Structure 1
Amino acid sequence: MLKALKKMFAKGEEQQPAQVPPAAAPSPQPSAARSSAADSATRSSEESRPRKERSRTAKPRRETAAKVDVAPWKLEDFAVEPAEGKTRFHDFNLDPRVMHAIHDLGFPYCTPIQAQVLGYTLKGRDAIGRAQTGTGKTAAFLISTITQLLQTPAPKERYMGEPRALIIAPTRELVVQIARDALDLTKYTGLNVMSFVGGMDFDKQLRQLEARFCDILVATPGRLLDFNQRGEVHLDMVEVMVLDEADRMLDMGFIPQVRQIIRQTPMKGDRQTMLFSATFTEDVMNLAKQWTANPAIVEIEPENVASETVEQHVYAVASADKYKLLYNLITQNDWSRVMVFANRKDEVRRIEERLTRDGISAVQMSGDVPQHKRIQALEGFRAGRIKVMVATDVAGRGIHVDGISHVINFTLPETPDDYVHRIGRTGRAGTSGTSISFAGEDDAFALPPIEELLGRKIQCEMPPEVLLAPVPRKH
């Protein structure tokens, strides 16, 4: 498959000779200088949309740079011995400020996708990565992006609302998580990170732009277009663009919006582009071919993520007994951080309401929950104040919380890839975790396609009688 993909992109290279400059090369010049007649003649129809004219005096330049309070630290403080079969972050000659942040996070060695992606992107190559969440891909594209911005001086003619790096993700939770990781990795650099998501106060987000430069912007497609179409955000100085979870953006119908956004950025030879997806479908690869130039292709097999770190169980249980089984599993085992997945928003709501009524602290994550409440719920779950989070697949897509011991599939997902994604909430970063799936008469049909994806059978068990005991009534 990999040879076929590389052959397909080799054809594109013959037609697209322009290559991405090395990360240390000068940054792209302002759009007026960049959009020469020759560029316009060679630009594809996908990316050939005239720039909007606007007054640059509306957003005055701020001369004060962010101050960074850096405690004395030397690279020698981050000693990591070489290990066979492992790649160290030291092996990439990263900026000491980035290494300081990586040291604080406690990551001595790269994950497989980090080692492979950084090997290409730090040299300026575009990249297409196939990887599930939990493999470290977020840190891979953030480290590469931050390095590009640190090695390339910011343009002298720089105005508010012109980000140098743009990261697009399909869900609000994923945007918040990426922005959080970006803040951790940039804390010694002076780079500014901003996040724009729907469901939050527009004016509050706008005030970020009015207070400081925007170096890295993380956004959902819809809210980013809101800012762009109002003339508050301009994308013609984007040096690095990242599209995360491209397959999910396809599923959620975001591609028309993403196309509008990309038309506002420099053409693909003048920006570095990274695209990540859990699957390499034909549609995903067609988009990648349109939006990248001479990309390196990196694949991390999802089976490894699903099978090696997560102990998987399936209980055959009648639909009427599923809630009793869930309640007893949590209370009898005294689990403290559990994610429960269901297929529909109304299921999520009912499960959360029953758990709360029966004395178990729980929150729900679905499209029906207002964004500010979703953020509060996620923070409470991350801090340990909430024991159970009940979520749909879309709402749970960007949730990365350490220490989730168990994932429970109250209903089996209709799409096998979603099963791999769900159980990937536990067993992260090499730790062990457990998934338990309830197979009832209404959803047992979904199990064979999951087993086919995993390449093995999952033994179906009957739950012990003690786990089917009636739920005590609360007075």
Structure 2
Amino acid sequence: MESPSEEVAITEEETQEAAQHSEPAPTDEAVDNAEQATVDSASEPEKEVDLAPETASMVKPNTEAEAEAENTEIDSDIAEEAQPEPAEPVRFQELALPEPLVKAITKLGFEECTPIQGRALPFSLSDYDVTGQAQTGTGKTAAFLITLFTRFWENPLQQRPNLGTPRALVLAPTRELALQIEGDAEGLNRYMDMRTVCVVGGMDFDRQRAELMKGPVDILVATPGRLIDFLDRRDINLSGVECLVIDEADRMLDMGFIPDVRRIVYQTPHKRKRQTLFFSATFNDAVMRLADSWTIDPEHIVVEPESVATDTVEQKFWLVEGSKRQKILLDFINHAEPERAIIFANRRDRTHKLVEFLKKKQISCEGLAGDIPQKKRLSTLNKFKSGELKYLIATDVAGRGIHVDGVTHVINFELPDDAEDYVHRIGRTGRAGSTGTAISFVSEDDAFNLPALEEYLGGPIQCIQPDLLPDSD
């Protein structure tokens, strides 16, 4: 029997065969030039793009010449205009999904599609490329996972591929988002027999490799850097990828990951021989060019971003010392006794430490972060919804999907690095006609985020001393 390393080793002949089905790897000079073009285009003013007739998006190029033309101009379907929401929400039962998948969706407590799911799934399930403008928390993760599970269920392989050869690749910019995608996949795969593997940086490489070698992989979720590590070792072969998902493309651009992503995409089959689902919170000129280079005539879906609900949310900014944040949080909880609150932290490790600290002080709370198993996250959310749990400590990635009425307070234990994340956070309170309070701790560790937040909110922020309680030292 061949060893795992022998099974996944790529011979010269296999490499040449894969090259026939994939785009040629670019030279360093070509990558540099492409990157410079992307950067240059990001600095140019955005041009108005006329929307093509709706039927045009349903027609794919018939010739290689037409396909090449797609690469030289921005797809006319990609515009910054929001689409009207369907009059009635689409129910999952209406989408002709596999019965085990519908059963899992129902078990998770979902009956109706979110706007992006209702608009994207009819196209993605029909094998069309999709570009979606939506933030985390809008349901886009389920949209592409449902597409992948349906595709593989309806088109099982007669012969299982070699180890390390996934049928779908999902690229995410951060470890936390990748882990959450893996967790969501586990929930949807409850009654199906498919394998999802996640490879991300900052975690044990050998353990991830061992997981890869356990058997064929249907869905590989990865961050670009760690995937490059596996590709360099030839532990992963992307020549069999049937569907490529790129999530939060704008963040990948901001974080400088695009050279790695380009290298990865070049190792998958040509875009005419794969389906591509491309998501981004924003679609500036640079992101639009990336989408155009990796997709063919995509259906473009736009979901309106959240706005600041200043009329229903009272916003307070407290000046605090970084070393005293835990004490001030505890004092506030003991003094004000919020009926139901979500406390946001910027990192998973901070979330876990806060949960540990508050529990030691006899405060009933649980954490919600991307590295927490899906079953545990669902249990925690259900307790929070029912009122059994009063306080939830969450990261941005995990918290964006929380839609619970009756949250009276949102507490930002630290200011988010992204102003949009602030809006998502405080949007968890003041819902369904109710009022809420958002309290943000501003310390020397994150005060530098204030100018960008003021610009985003459109006005100055007044920070005050939290003169709320007697000292409890």
Which residue of 2 is the match for residue 184 of structure 1? 187
Q: Deviations over 1:16-73 (max 9, x none)?
A: 8259xxxxxxxxxxxxxxxxxx89x969999xxxxxxxxxxxxxxxxxxxxxxxxxxx
Aligned partner of residue 49 in structure 2, secondary structure:
helix
CA deviation after TM superposition for structure 1 residue 141, in Å: 0.8
TM-score if structure 2 supplies the norm length? 0.68
1:74-96 alpha-carbon deviations (Å, 9 max, x no partner):
xxxxxxxxx96221112211111
1:338 alignment counterpart: 342
Q: Quick one: distance in 2 between partners of 1:11 and 1:108?
A: 31
Equivalent position of 1:451 in the other structure: 457
Q: Which residue matches 1:4?
A: 49
Equivalent in the alignment of 2:26 = none
Corresponding residue number in structure 2 for 1:73: none
Residues 434-472 of structure 1 show CA distances to partners (whole Å, capped at 9, x for unaligned) of: 5614386956544542334xxxx899797995xx21341
In structure 2, the partner of 1:470 is 470
**Which of 131, 134, 158 is equivalent to 2:134?**
131
1:197-346 map, 5 Å: 197-303=200-306, 307=309, 311-319=312-320, 323=325, 326-331=329-334, 332-333=336-337, 338-341=342-345
Superposed displacement of residue 240, structure 1: 0.8
Report Cα offsets for 1:252-289 as digits up to 9, x if no partner: 22111111111110011111111111111222111111
State the percentage of identical aligned residues: 37
Instruction: Give 1:157 deviation, angstroms.
Output: 6.3
Q: CA deviation at 1:350?
A: 11
Q: Does the 8 Å CA contact 2:171/2:246 hold for their aligned counterparts?
A: yes
Deviations 1:316-367 (A, max 9, x none): 544459847533332331567632346x99999998998789776899999x
| Unpaired stretches in structure 2, ≥5 consecutive residues | 1-45, 73-85, 384-388
Count of paired positions: 396
The structural deviation recorded for 1:417 is 2.0
* 1:96 matches 2:140: no
Instruction: Pick closer, same or farther for the CA change 1:346–1:124 going to 2, 3 Å.
Output: closer
**Secondary structure, in 3 states, of the residue corresponding to 2:213?**
helix
TM-score by structure 1 length? 0.68
1:174–1:399: 8 Å Cα contact kept in structure 2?
Answer: no
Q: Is the 8 A contact 1:130 1:298 kept in 2?
A: yes
Match of 2:151 in 1: 148
Amino acid at match of 2:61: P
Letter aligned with residue 172 of structure 2: A
Aligned-CA RMSD value: 4.8
Q: CA deviation at 1:422?
A: 3.5
Distance 1:188 1:350 in 2: 35
Partner of 1:70: none
Distance 1:168 1:287, change over 3 A: same
Distance 1:6 1:190, change over 3 A: farther
Letter in 2 for 1:180: G
SS in 1 for 2:306: helix
Name the CA shift for 1:103/1:364 in 2 (closer, same or farther; >3 Å): closer
The whole-number CA distance in structure 2 between the counterparts of 1:187 and 1:353 is 31
Spell out, residue by residue over 1:136-186, the C-alpha distance to the aligned partner (whole angstroms, 9 max, x if none). Answer: 111111111111112223153621111001111111121111111111112
State the partner residue of 2:440.
438
Q: Does the Cα contact within 8 Å between 2:354 and 2:393 map onto a contact in 1?
A: no
**Counterparts of 1:404-443 in structure 2 under 5 Å?**
405=407, 406-410=409-413, 412-413=415-416, 415-423=418-426, 426=428, 434=436, 436-438=438-440
The answer on whether the counterparts of 1:177 and 1:400 sit within 8 Å (CA) in structure 2 is no
For the structure 1 residues 339 and 316, does the alpha-carbon distance in structure 2 shift closer, same or farther, using more than 3 Å as the test? closer
Q: Distance in 2 between matches of 1:144 and 1:414?
A: 32
